[in-house]
Copies of this chain bind each other. A is one copy, B any other.
Amino acid sequence: MPWTKLQADAIDHEDYLPRHDGDRRLTYREAIREAQYQALEIDPRVFILGEGVDDPGGVFGTTLDLHKKYGRERIIDLPLAENGFTGIAIGAAIAGMRPILVHMRMDFLLLSMDQIVNHASKWRYMFGGRQKVPVTIRAIIGRGWGSAAQHSQSLHGLFMHVPGLKLVMPSSAYDVKGLLLSSIADEDPVMFVEHRWLFDQGDHVPEEMYTIPMGKGRVVRKGTDVTVLAISHMVPEALKASKALEEKHRISCEIIDPRTLKPLDEKIIINSVRKTGRLVISDCGWNTGGVSGVLASLIAEKAFSHLKAPIRRVCLPDTPTPAAPALEDAFYPSARDIINAARLVMRS
């Protein structure tokens, strides 16, 4: 199997690791494309399917021209039939393939919930481990330009609740390449959530293939006063916030990016909270019933005695996404909200 060595060599960032600073830089978008390109290259079982994957736009550039190299037999455009084609991807995975299913917008994936939750996520368990479903579902989230209630949702929170499904949300180009390869190599279904506002962000990305272990978070920035646990696009926002907090308010943030939410690196979070005693959680999903609540309740249970102040969360308010720019501004959280939250937890 082409993946065994790659997985064995998975890069395990023990605690804080300075960002690589090689000179090869790729954007997040390019890193996704490169991971897929390389996976297609080394493993004939890998293929990509999704609405518009062979499109001139190439799903925001992430699958651009892959069909020219690998053919439309392996880069498969699909009819608009989300429930059916998710089942088809799962069936192919059961029969030994490694499909990468692409959803241009996570909103549409609500049509595939039955196949994802009732089938992909349970197929291994239901059959006592005798079957497996190595499918990677790339779900793209975003925001802005009045995309409104049905074209903007970050629904990863729903998938926190689904046993059997892994959930990955990389925030940098380096991580997205390694984690996408890990997900493709993984034996289980993986929900792989990418934020469109990260697509242009650049980072050092080695050319060779590498994987990052599932369940290993990353200390994005070391600090002492308050832990900011940030997901996906909120990681760069947290970084921005941390600078202002340091400079203007003399508050030192430690930023943790869990990178994979299921499995979750509880240790890295608990260790940080133990040190700082204060926690801000920032997620790009809704406040209630999502990832931030899971993380908050985890800490409230497992690091209760270390908490010096109530946890604060910076997420989306519990409303559908409004279209008007004036309302979008109020809807989406940003660095400013993280700054405010951090200052508040420092005060109590």
Contacts and interface: CB of A to CB of B under 8 A. Distances in A.
A120 to B, nearest CB: 11
A161 B286 contact: yes
A9 interface: no
Contacts of A299: 300
A299 B292 CA distance: 14
A38 interface: no
Contact of A320 (B126, B161, B292, B318): B126
A262 B122 CA distance: 28
B297 A163 contact: no
Interface in A282-324: 285-286, 288-294, 296-297, 299-302, 304-305, 307, 309-313, 318-320, 322
A157 interface: yes
A148 B126 contact: yes
A311 B160 CA distance: 20
Candidate in A301, A309, A311 with the most chain B CB atoms within 10 angstroms: A301
Given A159-B289, A262-B288, A292-B297, 15 more contacts: A110-B113, A110-B118, A111-B113, A118-B149, A125-B322, A157-B289, A161-B288, A163-B286, A163-B319, A289-B294, A293-B293, A293-B297, A296-B296, A300-B310, A305-B310
Given A297-B293, A297-B297, A125 B113 contact: no
B320 A121 contact: yes
Interface residues of A, number: 52
Interface in A131-161: 148-150, 155, 157-161
Contacts of A148: 126
9 contacts: A160-B289, A161-B285, A163-B288, A289-B294, A293-B294, A300-B300, A301-B310, A301-B311, A304-B311
A114 interface: yes
A39 B313 CA distance: 42
A83 interface: yes
A52 interface: no
Given A163-B320, A311-B297, A126 B149 contact: yes
Given A293-B293, A311-B300, A311-B301, A125 B319 contact: yes
Contact of A296 (B286, B301, B310, B312): B301
Contacts of A293: 293-294, 296-297
Given A288-B161, A293-B293, A318-B163, A122 B149 contact: yes
A77 interface: no
Nearest to A309: B304
A297 B301 CA distance: 10
B320 A164 contact: yes
Contacts of A296: 293, 296-297, 300-301
Contacts of A97: none
Contacts of A111: 83, 113-114
Contacts of A187: none
A329 to B, nearest CB: 17
